[in-house]
Amino acid sequence: MARSEGSICKLCLVCSVIANLFFGVNLYRGRRGLWGRNWSIDEVSIQGLSWSGRAAAEAESAAARECSGHGRAYLDGVVVDGRPACECNNCYGGPDCSLFLPSCFADADEGDPLFLEPFWKQHAESSAVMVAGWHRMSYSFSDQTTLSQELESLLRKLHSLVGNAITDGKYILFGAGSTQLLSAAVHALSPHNSSLPASVVASIPYYSLYREQTEFFNSADCSFQGDPARWKNTTNTTGDIIEFVTAPNNPNGQLNEAVLHGPNIKTIYDRAYYWPHFTGIPSPADEDLTIFTISKLTGHAGSRFGWAFIRNEEVYQRMNMYLELNTMGVSRDTQLRALKLLKVIIKDGGREIFEFGYKTMTKRWDRLRKTLSMSNRFSLQKVPPENCTYFQKVREPTPAYAWVKCEWEEDRNCIEILNAAKILGRGGSIFHDDDRYVRLSLIKSDDDFDVLISHLEGLVSGEDGAKIM
């Protein structure tokens, strides 16, 4: 090991490290006046940097590329001229992303939560994590599970601080995003080897993944059956029914509630968007099976990390078995990173990130409403105000997506109208709804949102019979 390479080297190191930590760390960060460390200063100062210096310098070198404020260079980006190339936001190009591409499409399709990227750049120091080459090589943690205990307790603490879920008396499981947990939950709630497979249902409009997973994986134990409405007034259903309840709903932001109730009804609550960025938090979720994801909490969609709270032990055991046989748990690298990110947001009870998220989303909704207020062609969904126990006020929801309706009789295919105006979104039929609707993502980067508004303005200003005339 490098650590045993000799005391002369160590002496040199100590000299250097004292200088570095004093000038480089303390002074540099003095203006913010916050150390906010987890461990004592002595340990850090005395020890200094040996093996980690190069990796740190490499990361800073990549991050130092400004990319004109319209992109970023990543450590693992394609290397051009000896360093990672700038990866530009949509509608920007050139080696340093300074070139605006005026004829490009506004991309409001995917729910890529880049709106939180500036928050993490502002918290570069506290959110960085150094992974040693020998970090957690084993299949299991020291308690023989594939779940980090520290991460589990931080997640429980977070929900208690935010007040959006009661976690006492519930099992917890981690998944590769909520994506993996959704199918694990369907599997766990389906009967095993019954002649009557479970029916999986979700109220229209629904997130298309529920249907796609169930149909594609084609388990003999369940099948997708669309909207729960047809079972609503029937008491004599014979088989089990698994209802997805998405609250707030993707695509339309409504705080959905379960449609079906009864002894043979199992409910999976998808709470991906149940955070103060997007909605008031009227009360903590306290359900048999509730799924969250880091993607819509911190914005780290690429990390693929979600978690579920489960009341029933048997359901928990079956979901756990699914996750073990499917991927043997969630990458320990991802769990390490999630831990660091959650530590940052938990430090002030989530105040800073939720205020950042709420403010950003409010500004975007204000601009969107203003833009479409000139239109009689396009309307937005109405989501009722909610009491927010977190912000301690009644507030207008600021959903992650606009659910736009084309109001003109002839605009039966709304996404075609938007595409013609160079706007990408998701047509209503993807959510099993009318194609008069389109989902527009409002949670992407500032650049994406600016281009979206600009193209919407162009579309609205060109309306025949627009209100402004």
Distances (CA, A) of 454 to 107, 267, 378, 442: 12, 41, 15, 14
Write down the least CB distance from residue 422 to a copy of itself, Å. Answer: 18
| Region binding a copy of itself by CB under 8 A among candidate stretches 92-100, 248-256, 280-288, 300-308 | 300-308
Residue ranges in 435-454 that form contacts with a copy of itself under rule CB under 8 A: none
| Region binding a copy of itself by CB under 8 A among candidate stretches 96-104, 185-193, 265-273, 425-433 | 185-193
Task: Of 14, 85, 70, give the one whose Cα is nearest residue 45.
Answer: 14
Write down the least CB distance from residue 41 to a copy of itself, Å. Answer: 10
Residue ranges in 190-209 that form contacts with a copy of itself under rule CB under 8 A: 192-193, 209
Distances (CA, A) of 262 to 163, 186, 206, 440: 28, 17, 22, 35
| Region binding a copy of itself by CB under 8 A among candidate stretches 45-53, 239-247, 386-394, 402-410 | 45-53
Residue ranges in 229-258 that form contacts with a copy of itself under rule CB under 8 A: none
391 vs 356: CA distance, rounded Å: 13
Residue 328 or residue 468: which is nearer to a copy of itself going by CB?
A: 328
Q: Which of 56, 229, 394, 468 binds a copy of itself (CB under 8 A)?
A: 56
Asked if residue 47 binds a copy of itself (CB under 8 A), the reply is yes
Asked if residue 304 binds a copy of itself (CB under 8 A), the reply is yes
Q: What is the DSSP letter of 85?
A: P
Residue ranges in 372-431 that form contacts with a copy of itself under rule CB under 8 A: none
Write down the least CB distance from residue 435 to a copy of itself, Å. Answer: 23
Asked if residue 7 binds a copy of itself (CB under 8 A), the reply is no
Task: Of 297, 273, 272, give the one whose Cα is nearest residue 398.
Answer: 273
Q: Which of 101, 196, 212, 382 binds a copy of itself (CB under 8 A)?
A: 212
Q: Which of 70, 123, 364, 426 binds a copy of itself (CB under 8 A)?
A: 123
437 vs 414: CA distance, rounded Å: 6
Q: Contact 366/442 with Cβ under 8 angstroms?
A: no
What backbone torsions phi and psi does residue 117 show, to the nearest 5 degrees?
-55, -45
| Region binding a copy of itself by CB under 8 A among candidate stretches 324-332, 410-418, 424-432, 456-464 | 324-332
Residue 175 or residue 251: which is nearer to a copy of itself going by CB?
A: 175
Query: Strands 426-427 and 437-441, how do they pair?
Result: antiparallel
Write down the least CB distance from residue 45 to a copy of itself, Å. Answer: 8
Q: Contact 272/290 with Cβ under 8 angstroms?
A: no
Asked if residue 125 binds a copy of itself (CB under 8 A), the reply is yes
Distances (CA, A) of 99 to 9, 18, 63, 95, 115: 48, 44, 20, 9, 21
What would the two tokens of residue 381 be?
């969904």
Residue ranges in 13-32 that form contacts with a copy of itself under rule CB under 8 A: 13, 15-17, 19-25, 27-31
Q: What is the DSSP letter of 7?
A: H
Q: Which of 132, 238, 314, 469 binds a copy of itself (CB under 8 A)?
A: 132
Asked if residue 187 binds a copy of itself (CB under 8 A), the reply is yes
Binding residues for a copy of itself, total number by CB under 8 A: 135
Residue identified by tokens 């909610």 is: 386
Write down the least CB distance from residue 298 to a copy of itself, Å. Answer: 8
| Region binding a copy of itself by CB under 8 A among candidate stretches 284-292, 334-342, 413-421, 423-431 | 334-342
Dmax (CA) of the chain: 82
Q: If you count them, how many residues does the chain have?
A: 469
Task: Of 239, 235, 230, 165, give the one whose Cα is nearest residue 202.
Answer: 230
Q: What is the DSSP string of 329-356?
A: SS-HHHHHHHHHHHHHHHTTTTHHHHHH
Q: Contact 53/143 with Cβ under 8 angstroms?
A: no
Asked if residue 145 binds a copy of itself (CB under 8 A), the reply is no
Asked if residue 63 binds a copy of itself (CB under 8 A), the reply is yes
Asked if residue 314 binds a copy of itself (CB under 8 A), the reply is no
What would the two tokens of residue 444 be?
């992407």
Asked if residue 134 binds a copy of itself (CB under 8 A), the reply is yes
Asked if residue 180 binds a copy of itself (CB under 8 A), the reply is yes
